[in-house]
Amino acid sequence: MVRLTPALTLGARSLRTRPAPRLRQFGTSAPKSKENASFKSQLYESTQQRLKRERAEQEKFAQLQTQSPAGRNAALIFALVFFSTGAYYLGSLKPAALPSASTTPLSDVDPLKHNVSQSNLQAAWADFVAILGADHVSTAAGDLESHSGSDWSSYSAKADEKPFLILYPSTTEEVSQIMKVCHQRVIPVTPYSGGTSLEGHFASTRGGVCIDFRRMDKILQLHKRDLDVVVQPALGWEELNEVIGQDGLFFPPDPGPGAMIGGMVGTGCSGTNAYRYGTMREWVLSLTVVLADGTVIKTRQRPRKSSAGYDLTKLFIGSEGTLGLVTEATLKLTVKPQSQNVAVASFGTISNAAECVTNVVEAGIPVAGVEILDDIQMKCINASKTTSRQWKESPTLFFKFTGTQAAVKEQISMVQKIVSGTSGKSFEFARGEEEMTELWSARKQALWSVMAMKRTPDDHVWTTDVAVPMSKLPDIMEATKDDMTKNGLLAGICGHVGDGNFHAIILFNENEKKKAEGVVHRMVKRAVEMEGTVTGEHGVGLVKRDYLEHELGESTVDAMRRLKLALDPLRLLNCDKVVRTEQPAAGEVKEW
């Protein structure tokens, strides 16, 4: 605004004190100029407004001058606090700097901040019903109990480790919508397919929700000429082989009965055919995965080979549902063998049996599988009557042969000679389909036969596995067996010894729990010290996670943790499995 000069101000005041007399107008006289009248009016109004503002500022200044120093200080402090608070708030809106390290030590991870309050979970229930329908959202006590653990798991779930509800989606899109709700509401999620896992893989340690894939059990596409198939996660490997077998095709990985493709991908399992055909990792071409925030990705196309970018397929195999939820898998197939057979050989000691396996491997005989059961395991099979025949109660090898008829006969002959040269007590091979099924039945009944030996309903079964280089196998099996015997435990040894992987199946009650824990701990420690692995095919779950640092090194586990946090920053997926993302409680980690 333009300032008025003192003269003009004085003139304005004169106008105010001596108003001009009203002019009389006559009809014949010309009116006064409108421009002059408008200018005077504007000048008057402008001067009045300026004078009012000046007086107000003078009064405010006078009040400030008369105010006490304490009052002025209080006002100043208030202003400082107000503006500082505002600045802090605005600063907090700025995103935190990205981490600059390549790994994430456990000490750098913030505490979990899930929202499992009843109000949040109940509100989520309404969201899930809108997605799936009320029939596919369960809060029944029996469902919650059955999805919390199993009698054959080596992990005993705690009383509070139960999901709030069970969800049964049928499509990838439904799984994606579920994860979007859980991500928005910060609700932890536990995936579930066959429920045959052994190391606590589906324990709901943080509550939340459980996604059961049982409705996603279909073969989506079968490409016979390309030897691959697209399936959903709740399809069992046995059902898959029944269907594709009609076209002369075969899917080799064969873990325990009841295992489903989703869990097999999650644990990177193998089975009795691993020696000849490899593990699950070799038979998965591509995966469709729902990430923690509901994003859907496909890791690859269908060709047998590709060098396009990072191998995300292998990243998710063995991740146990901690990085994403598998909703489709494209699997490689092979041609069904023209001929197959089974042979059984017994030995005086488990060391002799293990030595025989080493000799077979070194001879380069392409057997399809080599399995071992020790004398205790054979006694359990006889006592439980889980098979149709009586067996020699001594360490026993089970051989599986596949190929042409001539090749199978040649393999049997070569193995028989090696058995004789390593103190074998007997050798028997099948002479028909029925005998072959009967001879192989003992291997498949190993776990169930030990469970059948429970002395009371409170007895538990601990099934665990390790793997070592082939040359170390006899030593670790003998040492583990001696350890079991010294501790007075009813325990058997079995396994896929053709690739250095063996299992211990231990029966124990609450009074024997510490002894069983000690035997397993020492078995794992021996494997690591022999440059082996803490798990050959069962996976890590909850039971083996604290052994990973001893096998792989602290930095390697920290790198795994970084991957977990990158793909699941809110730590919603299958909490606490594989790698810790929260500090352990006192005494929770065993001394090495």
Return the domain boundaries, the chain: 219-335, 339-543
Dihedral over Cα of 88, 92, 94, 97: its sign: positive
Identify the band that residue 451 occupies on the pLDDT scale cut at 50, 70 and 90. Answer: confident
Mean pLDDT, to the nearest integer, of 376-381? 93
What whole-number distance in Å separates Cα of residue 20 and Cα of residue 80? Answer: 53
> Quick one: average pLDDT of 529-553?
96
pLDDT for residue 406: 95
Which tokens belong to 229? 């198939």
Phi-psi category of residue 309: left, alpha or beta, with phi > 0 → left and psi -120 to 50 → alpha: left
pLDDT digits (tens, 9 = 90+) for 250-281: 999 999 889 999 999 999 999 889 999 999 99
- Least confidently predicted of 70-84, 103-117, 272-286, 353-367: 70-84
Residue 501 CA to residue 278 CA, distance in Å, equals: 13
pLDDT at 373: 92
CA atoms within 13 A on the CB side of 75: 7
Give me the pLDDT at residue 11, please: 41
Would you place residue 496 in the very low, low, confident or very high pLDDT band (cuts 50, 70, 90)?
confident
Q: What is the pLDDT of residue 131?
A: 98
Quick one: what percent of the chain has pLDDT higher than 70?
Answer: 84
Following DSSP, what letter does each residue of 64-125 receive, concatenated?
HHHS-HHHHHHHHHHHHHHHHHHHHHHHHTSPPPPP-SSS--GGGPPPP-----HHHHHHHH
Torsional class of 539: left (φ above 0), alpha (ψ -120 to 50), beta (otherwise) = left
pLDDT band at 354 (very low <50, low <70, confident <90, very high): confident
- Per-residue pLDDT, averaged over 61-88, amounts to 64
pLDDT tens, 102-123? Answer: 999 999 999 999 999 999 999 9
Three-state SS for 477? helix
pLDDT at position 79 is 66
Distance between CA atoms of residues 179 and 292, nearest Å: 6
pLDDT at 279: 95
pLDDT of 96: 63
Span 86-98, average pLDDT: 64
> What radius of gyration, in Å, describes the C-alpha atoms of the chain?
38
Q: Which class for 571: exposed (0-12), middle (13-18), buried (19 or more C-beta within 10 A)?
A: buried
Range with the poorest average pLDDT among 11-25, 210-224, 421-435, 532-546: 11-25
Residue 581 pLDDT greater than 50, yes or no:
yes
DSSP codes joined into one string, 42-75: HHHHHHHHHHHHHHHHHHHHHHHHHS-HHHHHHH
With tokens 């109004």, the residue in question is 45
φ/ψ region of 207 (left if φ > 0, alpha if ψ in -120 to 50, else beta) reads left
Categorize the per-residue pLDDT at 3 as very low, low, confident or very high, splitting at 50, 70 and 90.
very low
Cα 371 from Cα 364, distance rounded (Å): 17
pLDDT over 90 percentage in the chain: 67
Q: Which residue has the tokens 């292998």?
A: 314
Q: What is the mean pLDDT of residues 360-378?
A: 92
Question: Is domain 219-335 in CATH 3.30.465.10, yes or no?
Answer: yes
Q: Tell me, what DSSP letter sits at residue 205? A: T
pLDDT of residue 85: 72
- Contact call for residues 166 and 138 (beta carbons, < 8 A): yes
**Could you tell me which residue, 427 or 62, shows the higher pLDDT?**
427
pLDDT band at 150; cut points 50, 70, 90: confident
Tokens describing residue 550: 């001893």
Nearest CA among 446, 349, 442, 362 for reference residue 400:
442
d(CA 12, CA 84): 46
**Cβ-based neighbour number of residue 457 at 10 Å:** 6
* pLDDT score of 88: 66
**Which residues on neighbouring strands pair with residue 294, listed in sequence order?**
none
The string of pLDDT tens digits covering residues 278-333 is: 999 999 999 999 999 999 999 999 999 999 999 999 999 999 999 999 999 999 99
Least-confidence region, from 203-212, 384-393, 511-520? 384-393
DSSP state of 341: E
The fourth-level CATH superfamily of domain 339-543 is FAD-linked oxidases, C-terminal domain (3.40.462.10)
How far is residue 379's CA from residue 492's CA, in Å, rounded to a whole number?
9
Residue 6 in this model has a pLDDT that exceeds 50 = no
Distance CA(83)–CA(49), nearest Å, equals 32
User: Are 530 and 480 contacting, i.e. CB atoms less than 8 angstroms apart?
Assistant: no
Integer CA distances (angstroms), 366 to 180, 269, 277, 410, 447, in order: 49, 21, 10, 10, 27
Query: Cα–Cα distance between 241 and 443 in angstroms, integer?
Result: 19
Check whether 187 has a pLDDT greater than 90: yes
Whether the pLDDT of residue 2 is over 50: the answer is no
CA distance 117 to 123: 10
Range 413-431 average pLDDT: 93
Average pLDDT over residues 43-52: 61
**11-23 average pLDDT score:** 42
Mean per-residue pLDDT for 51-68?
61
Tell me the per-residue pLDDT of 192-224, one tens digit each, with 9 for 90 and over: 999 998 899 999 999 999 999 999 999 999 999
The answer to whether residues 512 and 568 touch, using CB atoms and an 8 Å cutoff, is no
Q: What is the mean pLDDT of residues 85-99?
A: 66
Neighbours of 224 (CB within 10 A): 12
User: Phi and psi of 356, rounded to 5°?
Assistant: -60, -45
Residue 568 carries which side chain, given as an amino acid letter? Answer: D
What are the φ/ψ torsions at residue 316 (nearest 5 degrees)?
A: -80, -25
What pLDDT score was predicted for residue 351?
85
Nearest to 428 by CA among 441, 415, 410, 447: 415
Indicate the SS3 state at residue 321.
Answer: coil
* Residue spans of alpha helices (H) in 487-578: 513-529, 548-552, 554-567
